[in-house]
Amino acid sequence: MDLEETFRRSLYTSYGENKCILLPEDKYIKTVGELLEATQAPKKSLHQFYLLKKYELLQCGDVQKLIRKKPNQEHPLYFATIEETFDIIKRAHIATGHGGRDKMIKEINKKYANITQDAITLFKSMCSECQRKWKWTITKGIIVKPILSKDFSSRAQVDLIDMQSMCQGQHKWIMMYQDHLTKFCILCPFTSKRASEVAYQLLPSPGSPFNTTK
């Protein structure tokens, strides 16, 4: 059984709960005939009043289409049969670039009056490309290799802290040097954050506070 047939059978299964919305092809043709009779009947029944209040007929070539009766609407909203629904949703799905439910609803509601949200959700769940797109790769485990330090001062983390709002004289920056192995911290004031000054202080010179070999 192909996807279209499966989709159509699902709509027919839910037809009992959505008789006011879904229209099988035979019911659609019958409604068109009853609406024509209602427009010509001199004395109308309650059912005919209901039809005239809900529907209008739009001549499209040699075919009459059911549209929603709504005063001052710019574009007619067509009623679709269950048999047409698959192709209508498929066109909207492709037009939106395999978009999500809300994008498809917005696209379809521009032209059609009785395509249900459940039908759109059902179609999207059957789209193989969407299933591949949103399929999550199962991650069995993430192994993080830790950084190991064997000796003091073999690895360190350096941060430059902005103290311009609380400067002490010319010193506007503080460098924090933290040894990776022991977490020992050294703080040093800076007048600027120029790379040359930072690099000079980090070099193992005799006057540098970061000279851990002394």
- Where is mean pLDDT largest: 67-71, 74-78, 88-92? 88-92
121 and 48 part of one domain: yes
State whether 195 and 126 are in the same domain: no
The stretch 58-79 carries a mean pLDDT of: 87
- Report the predicted TM-score, pTM, of the whole model to 2 decimal places: 0.60
Total structural domains within the chain: 2
Find the helix packing angle between 46-54 and 25-40, rounded to 10°. Answer: 110
What tokens were used for 77?
Answer: 């909203």
Percent of all residues in the chain with a pLDDT value above 90, rounded to a whole number: 40
Residue 139 domain flag: no
Angstrom distance (rounded) from CA 122 to CA 120: 5
Q: How far apart are the first and last CA of the chain?
A: 82
pLDDT 10s digits, 6-20: 999 999 888 877 777
Orientation angle between helical segments 117-126 and 82-95, nearest 10 degrees: 70
Mean of the pLDDT values across residues 91-115? 92
Residues 35 and 105 in one domain: yes
Name the residue among 166, 165, 185 with its Cα closest to residue 177: 185
pLDDT at 143: 64
The owner of tokens 């797109």 is 133
| Average pLDDT value for residue range 16-29 | 87
The predicted model gives 176-194 an average pLDDT of: 84
Q: What is the CA radius of gyration of the chain?
A: 36
What is the CATH number for 108?
1.10.340.70
Does 26 map to a domain? Answer: yes
Same domain assignment for residues 48 and 106:
yes
Same domain, 31 and 119: yes
pLDDT computed for residue 191 by the predictor: 82
Are both 71 and 112 inside the same structural domain? yes
Residue 71's pLDDT is: 74
Token pair, residue 57, equals 């007929």
79 within some domain? yes
